Amino acid sequence: MEKITIIGSGCAGLTAAIYTARAGLNPLVLTGMMPGGLLTTTGIVENFPGFPVGIDGFELVNRMQQQAERFGARIKMGVVESVNLAKTPFSIIVEGEEINSQSIIIASGASHKRLGLESEKLLEKKGVTYCATCDGALPIFRNQPLVVVGGGDSACEEALFLTRFGSVVYLVHRRDKLRASKIMAERVLSNSKIKPIWNSVVVDILDVTKDKVTGVKIKNVKTESISVVDCAGVFVAIGHVPNTSLFAGQIELNDAGYIVQKNGTMTSVPGVFAAGDCCDYRYRQAITAAGQGCSAAIDAERYLSEL
């Protein structure tokens, strides 16, 4: 039986692994579908303390994993299929294998939010993508007009990255100003290759009949006029949804699906703790996820010591 199992291997999960491993709890870390979490799809991370010139997101997570393993954390590749939190020890099924654990830290993170269009689904990986740093350098996007949907920091980062490859980058945003931080907004608006399209939403992606992206149909939310923008790629950056469906009905979630924390990082089930983007709908930063991972590890350690 495991003393502590950590579900998720992003900043929150790996920080929790570092702390619990140093406490001698020999934690088991389940990587999930995306080992390292969303941060691995980020280019240069400039706001994580200790890296004055920035660091690649994948490299940052990789260093965290190495640090956790140095102290005895065990990393297990696999996707959690189900959990039973009704009694202790808790049961976790990972690709058919059952793991029993005295405590759990949920650090399952979040996934990219989608537009919800049928054409989006049909053209995914055929010009529709959710990660510029993963796909932006592909030949189909080079020297072609590209579209980024969104107005936050993620969308701005995507747009800036794509200026290296696309001929022009259209940034489609439903409002008349960006939601991004001031420094990111200034970088985007001062870049001559980025063309904002304000007060607009994408209502369709063309062209399913050609089995590739050829453009987007855009609706102005104020005038309701429809226009078409030719492009070879659509990069969706409109936010995230927490990866918590696995726990619905077993622990308390809010209306948006985020795990509700009580008295620090505790959940509604004693012995189950939560950290990072699966419960943080306000800050959603790598450093705050790491901080919550630390807190969850300390809370879990104290819980186990009281058993």
Give the span between the Cα atoms of 104 and 171, in whole angstroms.
Answer: 41
Is 275 strand, coil or helix? coil
Residue 34: what pLDDT?
A: 82
Supply the pLDDT for residue 245: 94
Supply the pLDDT for residue 248.
95
230 and 123 co-located in one domain: yes
pLDDT along the chain (307 residues), means of 10: 96 98 97 86 82 92 97 96 96 96 96 93 92 86 97 93 96 94 94 97 96 96 96 93 95 96 96 96 89 98 94
Residue type, 150: G
pLDDT at 233: 96
3-state secondary structure at position 274? strand
Where does the chain show beta strands of DSSP type E?
2-7, 28-30, 44-45, 55-56, 74-76, 80-84, 90-94, 97-106, 110-112, 128-129, 145-149, 168-172, 194-197, 200-206, 215-220, 226-230, 233-236, 240-242, 272-274
Please say whether the beta carbons of 220 and 203 come within 8 A.
no
The string of pLDDT tens digits covering residues 166-215 is 999 999 999 999 999 999 999 999 999 999 999 999 999 999 999 999 99
Token pair for residue 302? 């104290």
The pLDDT value recorded for residue 39 is 84
Same structural domain for residues 73 and 161? no
Q: Are residues 50 and 157 in the same domain?
A: no
The span from the CA of 248 to the CA of 244, in Å, is 7
Instruction: Provide the annotated active-site residues.
Output: 131, 134-135
Residues 152 and 78 in one domain: no
For residue 65, the one-letter residue type is Q
Nearest to 235 by CA among 174, 104, 146, 142: 146
Q: Alpha-carbon distance 195 to 213, whole Å?
A: 19
* Residue 238 host element (H or E): none
Predicted confidence at residue 281, as pLDDT, reads 85
Are 101 and 244 part of one and the same domain?
yes
Quote the pLDDT of residue 32. 87
Q: How high is the pLDDT of residue 282?
A: 83
Find the CATH number of the domain harbouring 59: 3.50.50.60
Give me the number of domains the chain comprises: 2
Rounded Cα distance between 227 and 176, Å, is 17
Q: Which domain holds residue 134?
A: 114-236
Q: What is the pLDDT of residue 229?
A: 97
